[in-house]
Structure 1
Amino acid sequence: MSGKIKMIGLDLDGTLLTDKKELTERSKEVIAKALRQGIIVLVATGRPWTGVPEELRNFPGMRYALTSNGARVVDTYTGRVIEEHLLSPELAKKSLEICGKYDTLQEVYFDGQGYAEADKMAHVEKYHKNPNMWEYMKATRIPENDLAGLVERKNRGLDKTQALFADMEERGRAWAELEEIKGLELVGSLKYNIEINAAGVNKGTGLISLGKILGIKREEIMACGDGDNDAVMLREVGLGVAMANAEEQVKAAADYITLSNEEDGVAGAIEKFALEGGKGVC
């Protein structure tokens, strides 16, 4: 990596947020300092826009957001969609059909909003292995009785679909089936889920593309992440930072490994590599 960091993309779960899904005071302070120094800081998440914590959606100076693994990049000041790379309704329905054969809680994301199966949401703890995600799901998803019917009614491209699996063997079988379908991009950031985007959509290409729009070179972009959907991002950018709690393949893709999400690893990495005069502990 050479040159000054001008843009920083931050994964949320397992990266910027603690295990309790909280943004620490130190993280807030460091992000605010980076923004004051003219660095573009944005979330780069698999979550839909409405699933991003409100304090980050409204964080002073944070103008852009990359959501749904790069399917939707928005200007948070104006609400304008800068880029979108959508999954066709035909492929979405096919993915729902395949995953629906197994014991899953499925979701679809339209226009930055997540919709989840109403009956399965009542038993979210069966599908989301992390208790800290239960309230998040209930608070941010719109219950829907018929996801395939919703896709049929809207009849247009959508950001992403996702399936959360009660049984890991079933997840493996569903993954194998989905891999046979052309036009899909599969990741599993939670280990018990499958996230389904249009082929070629990932956080890395999204960050690089936004950088080009803003006149920022690849080597001037830094990103932090921990999960399967972050590996490509860390390889694509100029400086890829993995969390200490990251999966091994993510660490292998990184240029640097910082402290864990429970130890303000993101803040330390920003101080070390991006802030003027900063050499944070990370």
Structure 2
Amino acid sequence: MIKAIFFDIDGTLLSAGGHVLPSTKKAIRAAQERGILVGVATGRDPAKVGRLLKCLPLDMYVTYNGQLVYTNEDLVYSRTFEREALEQIVSYADQNSRSVNFGLREQVIGSRLMKLGQSVIGQRLVRFLPRSLPVGFMKGALQKIHFLRSDLHYRRMGILDQPVYQCMMFSPVAGDRRLAAALPGCDLLRSNTFSVDIVPKGGSKLAGIQHVLTEKGIDTKEVMAFGDHLNDIDMLKGVGIGVAMGNGQQQAKAAADYVTGSNNSDGIAQALRHYRII
């Protein structure tokens, strides 16, 4: 029996227009009325989650790809970068002219370029860009826009003296192997073609979910998870029922137990009906 459900946000809970579909709201309320706990498992920061999903009465929050986990009552789990790992990230960004955002408990600071990319508007734009578009061209073009330029060197911003849960770096997929070699104390989690989430080694959505389950006394076999991208694969494979959205990446679909409709076509409600959750 399913006792808890976790949803990715972008491409899953949110439609391409950045909204939660009425069918999704209704389905989640129906699941909660049956005593099922509902939460998110996302690479987003807590503040952004609160703004994007203020219309949903959620029970659990796995944010920053599992590095900061909490319920409406308690902090469940918190893990930040070791100083050495953060030094390596900042050095790599400086040496390679990479734009980076740094995820803190209450806010995300850093590059204006990355903040645009992490916004709902930015996410919509990315979905319309050709997958073959060179990332180097995109980065160069965007950084010529004056208001996107960073005014401060990352080190002078005091980044190294703050607890950072996750970094988001503008980086092409082709550079992942080089980046991973430069950051041995980190894992790379990708949710789009143009940027990569960097977390402490061993961090993931599934690991974050497991902390909540321990707190609630729920087995992973009693959990359903929804996702659409590469950073969702571990949780889709690791829970009792993994559901991939119809708009999702092929690798995510291959890892899932069921492929539902798209985030624009009532996919969440469809899957919950399929498994008789509602």
Tell me the TM-score normalized by structure 2.
0.82
1:67 is matched with: 63
Change (3 A) 1:92 1:23: same
Query: Are 1:236 and 2:230 counterparts?
Result: no
What are the superposed Cα offsets for residues 139-161 of structure 1, whole Å, 9 maximum, x if unpaired?
xxxx883433322232xx32100
How far 1:29 moved relative to its partner?
A: 0.8
Identity percentage over the alignment? 27
How far 1:274 moved relative to its partner?
A: 5.1
> Which of 101-110 and 172-181 deviates more?
172-181
2:212 is matched with: 210
The root-mean-square deviation of aligned C-alpha atoms, in Å, is 2.5
Change (3 A) 1:20 1:89: farther
Contact 1:98–1:174 under 8 Å retained in 2: no
Letter in 2 for 1:17: L
Contact 1:5–1:273 under 8 Å retained in 2: no
Query: Are 1:89 and 2:83 counterparts?
Result: yes
What are the superposed Cα offsets for residues 102-140 of structure 1, whole Å, 9 maximum, x if unpaired?
45431000115211324x469769xx574389xxxxxxx
SS in 1 for 2:99: strand
What are the superposed Cα offsets for residues 75-95 of structure 1, whole Å, 9 maximum, x if unpaired?
2x23x3211122223212311
- Pairs within 5 Å for 1:1-282: 4-54=1-51, 56-57=53-54, 59-60=56-57, 62-75=58-71, 77-78=72-73, 80-118=74-112, 120=113, 128=122, 130-131=124-125, 145-148=152-155, 149-154=157-162, 157-165=163-171, 168=172, 172-173=174-175, 175-273=177-275, 275=277, 278=278
Change (3 A) 1:65 1:274: farther
Contact 2:100–2:110 under 8 Å retained in 1: yes
What are the superposed Cα offsets for residues 41-100 of structure 1, whole Å, 9 maximum, x if unpaired?
00110000111153624633x22111000001012x23x321112222321231132134
SS in 1 for 2:264: helix
SS in 1 for 2:102: strand
Contact 2:185–2:201 under 8 Å retained in 1: yes
Contact 2:16–2:264 under 8 Å retained in 1: yes
For structure 1, the residue ranges without an aligned partner over 5 or more in a row are 134-142
How far 1:267 moved relative to its partner?
A: 2.0
For structure 2, the residue ranges without an aligned partner over 5 or more in a row are 128-149
Distance in 1, matches of 2:20 and 2:126, equals: 14
SS in 2 for 1:152: helix
Distance in 2, matches of 1:230 and 1:56, equals: 19
How far 1:195 moved relative to its partner?
A: 0.7
SS in 2 for 1:263: coil
Letter in 1 for 2:256: A
Letter in 1 for 2:154: L
What are the superposed Cα offsets for residues 182-233 of structure 1, whole Å, 9 maximum, x if unpaired?
2211111112111100111101121122112201111100000011110001
Distance in 2, matches of 1:109 and 1:121, equals: 12
